[in-house]
Amino acid sequence: MSKSKAKFNKKAFAIAMISLFAAFIVISSVFLGLYLAKEPPLDEGMRSIQYVMANTIADATDLNELDFSTSTHIIYAFIYVDKDTLLPHVSEADRENLSRLSAHLRSNYPNVKFMLSIASGGGNREGFCEATRTQERRDAFVKELAKIDEEFGFDGFDVDWEYPGFKYGNITYCNHCGDDHAALMETMRKQFEDKKILSAAVSGSVVLLHHLKNMRLAKVLDFANIMCYDLGEKNHAAFSAVGSAMFNAYLVGYHKRQLNLGLPFYGRYNDENGEVVYYDYDVYKALEKEGKLKIVSRNDYSYAMIDGHRLSLDSDEQLFKKARYAVERGYGGVFCWHMGCNLDGSLMREIYKILQGND
């Protein structure tokens, strides 16, 4: 009796593989649809956030000179981590600024949310890495924030730990920084529950973004401010790079409504020594008016030549285009870095109109 051998049927195998792949696509689409269906409502409308630096408040003899009317949130930047205590520290200068700003906002703009941003830096190389290395330190850090809040009554806190686990200047970092960053935000949420807004400044760099514990952060943050700038030397805030940064932030686990698109109110270039030179919006617009530079706008980016250098910047049209993009794509809003770059508030007034659908 002869034994028959089973032959490998390539056609049947191919059909089976295609069927499995199709089933995978269908199932994935169902789960993605369920995920998207849980998109939280934006009950506060589009966010219009301005960071305001300490020196902007200190230099303003009259805060009425600054326009807060087009902001949903004002974030004071920054207080820093004290190098000795490893706790958030309010200096005497910051205390005076915060007292003035708090009183002004409460009296004149009661609907504007007033937040405090905490950063590494300020001459302190230890910063967040050392301050959050253990749960005991994180608990102490957050309890100190609660004490600071008792004095000023903030609506929320913003953590400006931009590059956890990456070398930045001389600030200490380690392989545990990504986990410690998430654990700090989780500890803050536990302390303040839903009584305070919690946000984080997040780099628009794909490499840095994927290093964060985004799924954990998305569960405790009210929103993430995606820094869609400083993304390259030649064109630091190209429109295509901004779109990529926002979409990648969405893909790693945030809801679109949690994401705010960052608008740079400044231009920059790297000099011969590799040092970054910054030009505020008010400065390069004044130079343009005086005929000392010409802003060239392309579809994807804008720039101007100054002193033999290519100054990468956003024209008015580019900034407004990005604001419309945030609206059209269903993101939570925009934020600007920073208010002091455009002291008369003209940019934010136009951007606010776009966010409100009135442009």
**Residue 148 near residue 191 (C-beta atoms within 8 A):** no
Classified by CATH at the fold level, domain 45-265+315-355 comes out as TIM Barrel (3.20.20)
Residue 9: predicted pLDDT = 65
Domain residues of the chain, as ranges?
A: 45-265+315-355
The yes-or-no verdict on residue 3 having pLDDT over 60 is no
User: Percent of the chain at pLDDT above 90?
Assistant: 79
Of these ranges, 113-122, 125-134, 195-204, the one predicted with the greatest mean pLDDT is: 195-204
- Fill in the amino acid letter for 141: F
In angstroms, the CA 311 to CA 278 distance is 9
The 10s digit of each residue's pLDDT in 232-254 is 989 999 999 999 999 999 999 99
Mean pLDDT of 25-36: 43
The yes-or-no verdict on residue 137 having pLDDT over 60 is yes
- Fill in the amino acid letter for 317: E
Residue 16: predicted pLDDT = 58
Between 193 and 26, the more confident residue is: 193
Residue 31: predicted pLDDT = 43
The yes-or-no verdict on residue 49 having pLDDT over 70 is yes
Residue 241: predicted pLDDT = 97
Residue 21: predicted pLDDT = 57
Residue 66: predicted pLDDT = 98
The yes-or-no verdict on residue 29 having pLDDT over 70 is no
Q: State the SS3 of the chain.
A: CCCCCCCCCHHHHHHHHHHHHHHHHHHHHHHHHHHHHCCCCCCCCCEEEEEEEHHHHHHCCCHHHCCCCCCCEEEEEEEEECCCCCCEECCHHHHHHHHHHHHHHHHHCCCCEEEEEEECECCECCHHHHHCCCHHHHHHHHHHHHHHHHHHCCCEEEEECCCCCCCECCECCCCCHHHHHHHHHHHHHHHHCCCCEEEEEEECCHHHHCCCCHHHHHHHCCEEEEECCCCCCCCCCCHHHHHHHHHHHHHCCCCHHHEEEEEECEEEEECCCCCEEEEEHHHHHHHHHCCCCCCEECCCCEEEEECCEEEEECCHHHHHHHHHHHHHCCCCEEEEECHHHCCCCHHHHHHHHHHCCCC
Mean pLDDT of 96-105: 98
Q: How far is CA 44 from CA 41, 75, 139, 301, in A?
A: 9, 17, 30, 31
The yes-or-no verdict on residue 286 having pLDDT over 70 is yes
Residue 15: predicted pLDDT = 63
Q: Range with the lowest mean pLDDT among 53-57, 70-74, 271-275?
A: 271-275
The yes-or-no verdict on residue 102 having pLDDT over 90 is yes
143: left (phi over 0), alpha (psi -120 to 50) or beta: alpha
* Residue 42 pLDDT grade (very low, low, confident, very high; cuts 50, 70, 90): very low
The 10s digit of each residue's pLDDT in 145-192 is 999 999 999 999 999 998 898 887 778 889 999 999 999 999 999 999
Place of tokens 């500890």: 187
103: tokens are 């009183």
Residue 248: predicted pLDDT = 96
The yes-or-no verdict on residue 5 having pLDDT over 70 is no
Residue 273: predicted pLDDT = 94
**Residue 325 near residue 250 (C-beta atoms within 8 A):** no
**Residue 203 near residue 162 (C-beta atoms within 8 A):** yes
Mean pLDDT of 71-94: 96
Q: Range with the lowest mean pLDDT among 2-6, 173-177, 201-205?
A: 2-6
